[in-house]
Amino acid sequence: GEDSRSFHVSIQAPLSIVSIGETYSITAVAGGQLILECPEDAVPPPHIEWHRERSPLQEDARRQVLAGGRFLQIRALGAADGGEYSCRATNALGDTSLRVQVEVHG
């Protein structure tokens, strides 16, 4: 006899991350979830701001900033979510930023 099964696999992590200078490139799957991290271990703890295409990120039902800004979660990814995201961490001693270029494939 013969037996077959099919499985639905949900990938929540980015498929690949490539560093281009100071900009990271991430490829994600449409319909999935993406979590971007702004690494911050500074003392005093920094103030963190997220931007998309150089404009302050507007949170909504799908895009949420978590853990005081350390993470940006985007759910139900679509092609329109692609683009450049950046976070900027600032404290009394200075600031640092991280840029991520996101491509959504589906």
User: pLDDT higher for 44 or 10?
Assistant: 44
Range of the domain at 33: 24-100
- pLDDT per position as a tens digit, 40-65: 777 788 899 999 999 999 999 999 99
Looking at the 3D structure of the chain, how many domains does it have? Answer: 1
- The residue among 40, 39, 19, 25 whose CA lies nearest residue 105 is 25
Q: Could you tell me if residue 45 is inside a domain?
A: yes
Confidence (pTM): 0.76
- pLDDT per position as a tens digit, 11-27: 444 334 455 556 788 99
Q: Could you tell me if residue 49 is inside a domain?
A: yes
For the domain that residue 69 is a member of, what is the CATH number? 2.60.40.10
Q: HEC states along 70-88?
A: CEEEECCCCHHHCEEEEEE
Phi, psi at 68, each rounded to 5°: 65, 20
Looking at residue 58, what is its pLDDT? Answer: 94
